[in-house]
Amino acid sequence: MTKSITLSKVVLAGAGPGDPDLITVKAFRYLTTADVLVVDRLVDHSLLNYAKLGVKIFFVGKEGGNPNSFTQENINQLLVSEAKSGKLVLRLKGGDVSFFSNIFSELETLVENHIPYEIIPGVTSASGAAACAGIPLTARNYSNSVRFLSYTHPETIDEQQMNELARTEDTLVFFMAAKNVRQLVGSLVAQDITSDKWIAVIEEATTPNQRVTVLPISSFTETTRDIKFRSPAMIIIGKVSQLHHRFHWVTNEDKDSSFFPSIDQTILKTKVA
């Protein structure tokens, strides 16, 4: 469905999982016409080269343990103030806006302030990671269902829930789990997860720094003892993860630096010629 681009609204759009070529055509169209960009940390900055001259670019990334992280409340108020000044605002998020992106909070704020908005889906980090790791999330004789979960706060999954996750035949995809992946594996092993389940850790998926680690879940903790997994990383657990060894097509890049820069104190830039 084609709609004309109007002023004085907020467009919430997914930029994709990292590779700038994975942004959608519609999101890219808004990128080139917006007056204001409000950009997450996990957005490739090369995309910003296509923004128009004079655009205001606000960097509002969040990063665990970084005091320069933007608060969600500050982001909400920024969207309101810029839209009320008559600007076309593009809120550009990593992945897809509907997956663990705080879109609910931003939508509530926009509705409360009577600000028009549009939502543009993007390629989620889960599908980007799975594709670039050669792992079908569902596959005949392996899994016919998939679940998407967050593991930022392990305490939100109780023992009963963990037991059910250990026993399901569904593919489990965990967002924001790099820091706690060994705790996650330990909890599943403690609940007697079956030996035919494998785990894939896909770090910085779809970027030049992508690194994939795939192992039987039973040997994961011991084998990866000396590995420090970089964030962002997608965790895929299930029988399908072993298919990586048959279908992988991207070579691992063992780089020390992160593709996505750490947050600094730079909040606002204006694009000039």
Superfamily of domain 126-247 in the CATH hierarchy: Tetrapyrrole methylase, C-terminal domain (3.30.950.10)
Q: Catalytic residue among 62, 179, 255, 271, which?
A: 62
Angle at which helix 72-84 crosses helix 103-112, to 10 degrees, equals 40
Q: What does the pLDDT average to over 120-136?
A: 98
Length of the chain: 273
Two tokens at 87? 């600007």
Burial of 231 (0-12, 13-18, 19+ CB in 10 A): middle
5-59 pLDDT, tens digit per residue, is 445 899 999 999 999 999 999 999 999 999 999 999 999 999 999 999 999 999 9
Kindly state the helix (H) or strand (E) to which residue 83 belongs, with its residue range. Answer: helix 72-84
Question: Could you identify the residue written with the tokens 């917006």?
Answer: 34
pLDDT higher than threshold 70 for residue 196: yes
- What values do phi and psi take at 184, rounded to 5? -60, -50
Listing from the earlier edge strand, what are the strands of the sheet with 171-175? 146-150, 171-175, 233-238, 198-203, 211-216
Are the beta carbons of 244 and 212 closer than 8 angstroms? yes
Mean pLDDT of the chain: 93
Q: Give the pLDDT score at 271.
A: 65
Q: What does the pLDDT average to over 60-69?
A: 74
Angle at which helix 181-190 crosses helix 159-167, to 10 degrees, equals 80
Are the beta carbons of 125 and 205 closer than 8 angstroms? yes
What are the residue boundaries of the structural domains of the chain, listed by start?
9-123, 126-247
> What share of the chain has pLDDT > 90, as a percent?
85
Q: What does the pLDDT average to over 186-213?
A: 97
- The CATH number of domain 9-123, selected from 2.60.40.3500, 3.40.1010.10, 3.40.50.1820, 1.25.40.10: 3.40.1010.10
69-109 pLDDT, tens digit per residue, is 789 999 999 999 999 999 999 999 999 999 999 999 999 99
Annotated catalytic residue 226: no
Annotated catalytic residue 87: no
Q: Catalytic residue among 40, 44, 93, 96, which?
A: 40
211-236 pLDDT, tens digit per residue, is 999 999 999 999 999 999 999 999 99
